[in-house]
Amino acid sequence: MEIEDCDKTAGTKKSFYICFIFIHFSVCFDVQFREGNEPGDEMMVTYRELLQRVCQFANVLKSQGVKKGDCVSIYMPMVVELVIAMLACARIGAIHSIVFAGFSAESLCERILDSQCSLLITAGSFWIKKTHLPCGLQLCGESICEPEWCESEDPLFILYTSGSTGKPKGVLHTVSGYMLYTATTFKLVFDYQPEDIYWCTADIGWITGHSYITYGPLANGATSVLFEGLPTYPDVSRMWEIVDKYHVTKFYTAPTAIRLLMKYGSEPVQKYKRESLKVLGTVGEPINPEAWLWYYNVVGEKRCPIVDTFWQTETVRYSSYTSSYASFFFLLMGAIYLNSLLTQKKSLLEGYLVFKQPWPGVMRTVYGNYQRFETTYFKKFPGYYVTGDGCRRDKDGYYWITGRIDDMLNVSGHLLSTAEVESALVEHESVAEAAVVGRPHPVKGESLYCFVTLSEGVMYNHTLEAQLKKQVREKIGAIATPDYIQNAPGLPKTRSGKIMRRVLRKIACNERDLGDISTLADASVVEQLFQNRCTTAV
């Protein structure tokens, strides 16, 4: 659609933002460099080409009877066709519900049934490392499909949370609020300029991929990289090889990926120049100091600021960090933190992170279950949106996200953040990753049960165990001394990379009733952890 066609509706409330998505598609410049699973497998897609393919597939959907307001499930790997499918849904006013391609058939079925979708789009085949799995997306010949006009509050997509806290929730976002906020945050937080090459390594199956691979970059006419492979294939230098190949200037990844690559040292990074890099970003979970420093010193060579972002599937809302991992909130709009008695704290104490006022990108409901939406996010502190995260504010007014409130431990009447204990553990040079949960204690109320994943080549022994206990005592205090430390070669993670701590709590207590673990990336680690669990305190 041409820009002048869009201007005819500029004064109305209707689908300005749907139009906003496609404004740039008639311009002939790079939208994405597509880097395949195998080095050398590459493709460049322009905005004009993308528009044509989106229109073609939109016509396919219409030929299958899909209409405005229908829900369409998409179950595909990280390929260009996934972007085409989701934009084709948006173009005809259908609601897309993308399910991460690594989910099991059971998880896919659960989401299909909950969203009451009318059609499933899936892949015929794709490559993971050297394994070929059959893929394709049928297109029809017609490359013209006029967009369906939508109200600003019409639904754009449903995205289910990863399941780290139980049954997934269908988070519903709407057309204009989501689009406005995503476009704005992408532009301002990354300081995107026309000459930039942007790369977000997330999977489109998660909210980061929705917002900062597809909608945010496209709404700003960005040139970006879409990577179909793994960061360690064919070797652990793959990400830095891609940075040099495409002259990436803005690079956005997860602390999980950073810690994974840290295990292999700096040499695989330093094989490549990375001179094009200007801004680094992290997303998905709190980043520990050791990972932050490695990212800053080794990857960015102390010259690239790090934007360490806090947000949720539900919020599409940033806190914008310029150094370390403390922040001011982006477009503040009433961010405060409270204790359990609903007393607003203006001191340096910790509390619940809540928001007092709404903003354009906030979720509108849990799909099909508005009562769950109210109960989950508004019941604890009426009149406030409750993030579920803890927060503290320092003397300079910076906010520090301390992790999920349900990851706070009460040890002898003292509240301890599991994230803080984990950070102390991973500061030890032998520890690549750590996860801490609570285990009931007859005297203290809760004791600290710690799972540690060691760096490559390091052996677990009593000497290392004693060093870790000492390090936590020195960093936090005697009250935080671990009661149990378990060697954990692997941790139970969802496919988005989040540690499933409710499973770890079950392991710590030797409880086999785990609930739904279909969202685990590798369920085999659970049995291994049960077999190696600690039975006596250290």
Give the Cβ contact number of residue 372 at 10 Å.
15
pLDDT band, very low/low/confident/very high, at 271 (cuts 50, 70, 90): very high
- pLDDT tens-digit profile of 17-51? 222 222 233 333 455 688 877 888 888 999 999 99
**Hey, what domains does the chain have and what are their CATH numbers?**
412-532 (3.30.300.30)
Q: Which residue has the higher pLDDT, 396 or 188?
A: 188
Cα separation, 385 vs 407, in Å, equals 19
Instruction: Take residue 146 and report the two structure tokens written for it.
Output: 């006029």
pLDDT at 464: 94
State the pTM of this model.
Answer: 0.74
pLDDT at 37: 78
Cα separation, 427 vs 480, in Å, equals 15
What value, to the nearest 5°, has the Cα angle with vertex 471 and ends 416 and 499?
Answer: 55
- pLDDT tens-digit profile of 444-477? 778 899 999 998 889 999 999 999 999 988 887 7
pLDDT at residue 417 greater than cutoff 80: no
Residue 346 CB burial class (10 angstroms; 0-12, 13-18, ≥19): exposed
> Comparing 41-55, 64-78, 129-143, which segment has the lowest mean pLDDT?
129-143
Q: Which residue has the higher pLDDT, 174 or 233?
A: 174
Q: Please compute the mean of the pLDDT values over residues 179-201 and round it to a whole number.
A: 92
pLDDT at 319: 58
